[in-house]
């Protein structure tokens, strides 16, 4: 796990956690 791979993981985690309901509602 390098910082390069750690950054996108954090973004994806925040996106899923924050926009999870929105994404499901959109589908």
Distance CA 5, CA 2 (A): 5
pLDDT value of residue 27: 67
pLDDT value of residue 16: 74
pLDDT at 1 over 60: no
Report the candidate in 6, 2, 8 with the shortest Cα–Cα distance to residue 16.
8
pTM for this structure? 0.35
pLDDT value of residue 4: 64
pLDDT tens sequence across 4-21: 667 778 887 877 777 777
pLDDT value of residue 2: 65
């Amino acid at each position: 796990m390098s910082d390069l791979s750690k950054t996108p993981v954090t973004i994806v985690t925040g996106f899923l956690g924050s926009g999870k309901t929105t994404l499901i509602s959109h589908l």
